[in-house]
Copies of this chain bind each other. A is one copy, B any other.
Amino acid sequence: MDSLRLTCTRCSKKMSIDSLQGRCDCGGTLFVEYDLERIRRSFSKDTIYGRSASLWRYHEILPLREQGARVSLGEGWTPLIRMRALENKLPLRELWLKREEQNPTGSFKARGFSVAVSLLNERGYKKLAVPSNGNAASSLAAYAAYAGMEAFVFLPKDTPTMIVQECMLYGAQTYLVDGFIHDASAIITDGMEEQGWFHVGTLREPGRVEGKKTMGLEVAEQLNWDMPDVIVYPTGGGSGIIGMWKAFKELKELGFIHGELPRLISVQEAGCQPLVDGMNKDIESAEEEEGMHKVTAVTASPTGMRVPNPPDEGLILSILLETGGTAVAVSREDISTAQHVLGSQGISSSPEGAATWAALSQLLERGFLERTDRVVLFNTSHAMKYLPGRIDRKIPVVKDYRDWLLQNASHRG
């Protein structure tokens, strides 16, 4: 038996790892399945210790066979830092922030694309296309560029300007779409045969989830294999939640962690909250209704959380329920306030990252969070990708100290 194969999360059908493109015939998501029984014989916590500060430190449970095909720009092993001032403010027992903005391309998306582009590199693909709210596009663009492949990226036309500029800087063929991310995806699906595009959209191939999985592996290792109680994660397409859940399952099978899995909590912006809505229904109806959300009602900001039709909503909801987590929606105003709160602690947080902080008070009120919990937030990308590029308030221009004193006199009372 090949030690690597694909397995459908819905119907359990097994497939060769070489059929990378697409989803299962039944509509389910395809996971990479490892021979963990075999792997655990030679793979231990000690094996990893001292390895390179990149997600590839876990290469035994990543799907690349030829390590020479690896496309790595220095992704993963991002800092997990303690937010003491904020944990005292709530209070919580422990509050940690995973600084995903320190990845290449300034976002967590680098993880998925390092693994996905490596897999495609191993198989000789050369033209990759992705629909994206921004960060996935800029990451694909960078990894494809480094690997000498072509990238085609399709972004909603209200995607933040900075991210569009990044895609162009990395030389991607960049297109804006009059619609949402699923409209962008439809363009690729319709054109992929004719254009020879490999569709690297969320859950369309197994590599991106494997890359995202490493966020879970890292949180576990960075907390010395003593799992947190709760992980709060901004969720759009859901591959992060899915990936981390897969990580924890595999770590249990490998005997690296024990006990309950962390409660996984998805945060969305009000105005595009299919997961929050989905938690109020049963999962089967969510699966039936996939693709049926009234997209005309989408009023959320253009961020990575704005995914009206997640490709596998049923899988995400079942993970949230299984771990005792939930999904919450926060307002645009609360996100903006949260960006300033995190900023006041020295953290450059994207709206998505800030949303995780914004969710905490609601989660405490609703009883999904206890004051005795150890909590991990994910800051998925840099604030600067979303800053307006102009300064709204007037900043004093001073010539010398005397001038500074004069201009600040009014403030000093």
Contacts and interface: CB of A to CB of B under 8 A. Distances in A.
A120 B305 CA distance: 40
A208 interface: no
Interface in A143-161: 143-146, 148, 154, 157, 161
B348 A105 contact: yes
Contacts of A236: none
A363 to B, nearest CB: 24
Nearest to A103: B102
Contact of A384 (B99, B141, B384, B396): B384
Interface string A318-346: 00000000000000000000011001111
A340 B398 contact: no
A18 to B, nearest CB: 26
A288 to B, nearest CB: 26
A385 to B, nearest CB: 7
Contacts of A143: 346
A50 interface: yes
Among A176, A183, A190, A398, the most chain B Cβ lie within 10 Å of the Cβ of A398
A179 to B, nearest CB: 7
Interface in A353-392: 382-385, 387-391
Interface string A50-80: 1001100000000000000000111001111
Interface stretch (A165-173, A238-246, A271-279, A306-314): A165-173
Contacts of A78: 74
A41 interface: no
Contacts of A43: none
Interface string A379-411: 000111101111100011111111011000000
Contact of A391 (B54, B165, B404): B165
A-side interface mostly: mixed
B161 A391 contact: yes
A178 B344 contact: no
A85 B144 CA distance: 13
Given A102-B103, A348-B169, A186 B343 contact: no
A191 B142 contact: no
Contacts of A154: 398
Contacts of A343: 145, 169-171
Interface of A: 49-50, 53-54, 72-74, 77-81, 85, 99, 102-106, 141-146, 148, 154, 157, 161-162, 164-166, 168-171, 174-179, 183, 186-187, 190-191, 339-340, 343-348, 382-385, 387-391, 395-402, 404-405
28 contacts: A53-B53, A53-B77, A53-B79, A72-B81, A73-B81, A73-B346, A74-B80, A74-B81, A74-B99, A74-B102, A104-B346, A106-B382, A141-B346, A142-B348, A145-B343, A145-B346, A146-B345, A165-B391, A166-B348, A166-B383, A169-B387, A170-B344, A176-B396, A177-B397, A178-B399, A191-B401, A382-B382, A389-B389
Given A74-B80, A105-B348, A388-B389, 19 more contacts: A73-B346, A73-B347, A74-B102, A102-B104, A106-B348, A141-B346, A144-B346, A161-B389, A161-B390, A161-B391, A162-B384, A166-B384, A168-B395, A169-B343, A169-B348, A169-B383, A175-B397, A176-B396, A190-B402
